[in-house]
């Protein structure tokens, strides 16, 4: 069978930031060699749609698998990448009318049935992880009724099969570096690491807005530190990859796994660096220093709220003191730090807005002397169906149950919708003064 694998465009075109298609690359490596395979990552194409047309016309595939990674760009943008899936499927059907068209990926999994309805060109959808079932979708005697986790069409409509077991992390297939060369992604990024690395999947924290437990399971499935470092070492040696980003929901939980990973990196003494999202109240001076010895060059925090009420509402199981303690640790160790916060949360009034400013100013002050704060990123809560906060807003009457959450919907009620911009200006001033080594009186 001739199979075309396509990573649909799900990034700001022209932004220049490239991300290696880790999920699709692993799926690619599961295909038996007797298949004829072609791949296309539309995110690295200068003009992706003519490239897709040319690839389909030249290759004439029997099957086209579309990977749909992100639903929208977040960061408060009222933009949707749904058009990428709709246009990609329509173009595939027009140019290869007899081909089997499939879709999968994190964004598809969130709205799998709805997207099968929205995109009639799709013959089949893959919900959740695909490594164990992907090769079965191209068998000559395909029986979709016996494959877990897929959606397919019959004469009665769309059938959704129950999910199967999730993959054991130490059985992850290798990434297909021949089909998707890492060298295509290593130039030009100014802000983020192009190469992701998986240390675990799933999350047991149940933060109020998040669907990680839905996508990856509500327990953390751990990958052996030796296997993680083997993959990093191979990419470093073969392709000169120097910077990795851990795709884990939280890189420093559980603590024993994180410390074992760092110790393995120290033992190997590889010429590479890495970043990841850290949990503030799991960070200690000892394991931060260990992480730095192991090559960690930037810490990402997702504290998510600057108020006591917000932390409770989001089920963060942390306090503002945890935010301050973590800020001091990274400042004292001089490691580049990025912080993410959600603003204008449900139920926040004047007292919470005062506390928001006070907490932010204290964090800025902690980092000012060290000059190690790379950025503070503010967002509003993107509402997804099934997320705890979404259910809460519907129950309280603040959100209509008929709201279409397939498209970007953010919680940002007036009259305080401007708070994000006010705090961004506050951070900009603090950052400039810190970089110029000028004292700044907090106002």
Task: Provide the pLDDT for residue 76.
Answer: 61
Q: Which regions in the chain score pLDDT beneath 50?
A: 14, 442-443
Q: Which domain holds residue 42?
A: 2-161
Task: Provide the pLDDT for residue 443.
Answer: 47
Q: What is the CATH number of the domain that holds 51?
A: 3.40.50.280
Task: Provide the pLDDT for residue 358.
Answer: 96
Task: Provide the pLDDT for residue 65.
Answer: 98
Domain end marker among 141, 161, 181: 161
Same domain? 124 vs 14: yes
Tens digits of residue pLDDT in 166-193: 999 999 999 999 999 999 998 877 778 8
- Asked, for residue 39, whether it belongs to a domain, the answer is yes
- Asked, for residue 239, whether it belongs to a domain, the answer is yes
Same domain? 109 vs 226: no
Task: Provide the pLDDT for residue 15.
Answer: 58
Number of H helices and number of E strands within the chain? 14, 17
Tens digits of residue pLDDT in 236-245: 999 999 999 9
- Asked, for residue 395, whether it belongs to a domain, the answer is yes
Strands 2-7 and 63-67, sheet pairing: parallel
Backbone angles phi, psi at 326, to 5 degrees: -65, -40
Q: How many domains does the chain have?
A: 2
Backbone angles phi, psi at 97, to 5 degrees: -60, -25
Residue 381: CB atoms within 10 Å:
24
In angstroms, rounded to a whole number, what is the distance separating the alpha carbons of residues 225 and 407?
38
Task: Provide the pLDDT for residue 369.
Answer: 86
Q: What is the CATH number of the domain that holds 357?
A: 3.80.30.20
Strand ranges (E), 171-219: 195-197, 200-201
């Amino acid at each position: 069978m001739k199979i075309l694998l396509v990573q649909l465009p799900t990034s700001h075109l022209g932004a220049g930031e490239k991300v290696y298609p880790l999920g699709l690359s692993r799926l690619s490596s599961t295909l038996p060699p007797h298949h004829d395979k072609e791949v296309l990552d539309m995110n690295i194409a200068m003009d992706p749609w003519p490239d897709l047309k040319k690839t389909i016309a030249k290759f004439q595939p029997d099957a086209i698998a579309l990977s749909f990674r992100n639903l929208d760009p977040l960061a408060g943008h009222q933009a949707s990448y749904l058009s990428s899936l709709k246009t990609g499927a329509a173009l595939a059907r027009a140019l290869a009318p007899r081909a089997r068209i499939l879709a999968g990926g994190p964004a598809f999994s969130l709205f799998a049935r709805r997207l099968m309805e929205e995109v009639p060109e799709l013959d089949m959808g893959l919900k959740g992880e695909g490594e164990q079932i992907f090769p079965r979708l191209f068998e000559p005697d395909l029986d979709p009724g016996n494959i877990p986790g897929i959606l397919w069409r019959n004469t009665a409509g769309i059938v959704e099969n129950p999910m199967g077991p999730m993959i054991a992390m130490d059985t992850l297939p290798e990434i297909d570096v021949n089909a998707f060369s890492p060298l295509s992604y290593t130039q030009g990024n100014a802000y983020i690491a192009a190469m992701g690395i998986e240390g675990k999947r799933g999350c047991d924290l149940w933060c109020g807005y998040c669907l990680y437990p839905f996508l990856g399971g509500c327990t953390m499935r751990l990958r052996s530190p030796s296997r993680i470092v083997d993959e990093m070492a191979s990419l470093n040696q073969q392709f000169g990859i120097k910077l990795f980003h851990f795709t884990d929901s939280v890189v420093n939980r559980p603590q024993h796994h994180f410390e074992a990973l760092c110790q393995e990196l120290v033992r190997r003494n590889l010429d590479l660096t890495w970043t990841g999202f850290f949990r503030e109240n799991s960070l200690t001076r000892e394991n931060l220093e260990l992480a730095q010895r192991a090559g960690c060059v930037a810490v990402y925090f997702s504290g998510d709220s600057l108020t006591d009420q917000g932390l409770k509402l989001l089920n963060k199981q942390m306090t503002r003191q945890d935010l301050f303690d973590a800020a001091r640790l990274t400042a004292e160790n001089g490691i580049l730090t990025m912080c993410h916060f959600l603003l204008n949360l449900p139920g926040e009034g004047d007292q919470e807005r005062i506390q928001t400013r006070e907490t932010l100013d204290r964090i800025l002050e902690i980092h000012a002397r060290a000059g190690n704060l790379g950025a503070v990123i503010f967002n509003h809560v993107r509402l997804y169906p099934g997320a705890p906060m979404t259910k809460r807003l519907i129950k309280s009457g603040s959100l209509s149950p008929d709201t279409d959450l397939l498209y970007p919907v953010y919680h940002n009620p007036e009259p305080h919708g401007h708070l994000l911009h006010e705090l961004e200006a506050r951070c900009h001033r603090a950052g400039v003064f810190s970089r110029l080594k000028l004292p700044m009186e907090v106002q």
